[in-house]
Structure 1
């Protein structure tokens, strides 16, 4: 496979796989651990308000709903995962797809937690790193664990991809 297409297909596979791992972790949190998780419709709502110049909300849950917000939110969730995977592969190099390692993938998971801490949570009205929530440390821990699972998902997806390339 040509290097460009290997990168593109690798980013798609790793991003979608890692995001799927996050979603499985979300189901475990919600249904087994009874911990609330982000409703991606709120991400879609936030994105839906951007064209009107509204990037910051007092409370995104109280903002006016946007038509198709759930679909928009879920699509954005996976697209963001694919973009993060592409950035990871650009930094890790093409050789990562052939010989994945856990540590760099977990490090990327740690890096990606900056997105909710410094972009989404403040934009949703929750403050930097969820400072305006009733239990900020719990919210931070949930974000951290979810993004570490994303890193684990990058690694697991890369392992599957490496097996695919070997055949």
Structure 2
């Protein structure tokens, strides 16, 4: 149970680190902060049986979609943290090396590239966005921030 709790805390810390990174980009580089209402809208439509949209922004709005999007964002981070510690085990927790965690965090971007983004109408790996390679690279950097946040939590624990 303690291992799972550490994973949950790692997921929260990693997701918070992603948000701090996104805030810094918004504040200092003029990049738009993620609109978590759109993933919330997408998730609500998934529960209604529709996964694929031409444009999630053009799909029917859902009450509470912003709160749902934030909960989804942190819920996914928590799940990833729990999965990682269950896979890595007690040996890794005793000596938390960054590289395996970073590789895992980079691999998790596949869910966004091959389910969430196409589901929201953005194409596979953001192919339908104006700057797909920028979106991909920024996603990889954000997932690196996620790994750093998870690692910081486990080191502090």
The structure showing larger relative contact order (alpha-carbon pairs under 8 Å, at least 6 residues apart) is: 2
TM-score, normalization: structure 2?
Answer: 0.95
Structure 1 residue aligned with 2:53: 57
Deviations 1:22-71 (A, max 9, x none): 11011011111111242111111011112221111111112111111111
Q: Once superposed, what is the RMSD of the aligned Cα atoms? A: 1.1
Aligned equivalents of 1:137 and 1:17: distance in 2? 27
Unaligned runs of 5+ in 2: none
Aligned equivalents of 2:84 and 2:4: distance in 1? 12
Aligned equivalents of 1:141 and 1:51: distance in 2? 30
TM-score, normalization: structure 1?
Answer: 0.90
Moved more, 140-149 or 34-43: 34-43
- Please give the secondary structure, in 2, of the residue aligned with 1:19: helix
Q: How many residues align?
A: 157
- Please give the secondary structure, in 2, of the residue aligned with 1:93: helix
Structure 1 residue aligned with 2:40: 44
Q: Which runs of 4+ in 1 moved over 6 A?
A: none
Unaligned runs of 5+ in 1: 162-167
Aligned equivalents of 1:98 and 1:65: distance in 2? 46
- Contact in 2 for aligned 1:12/1:85 (Cα 8 Å): yes
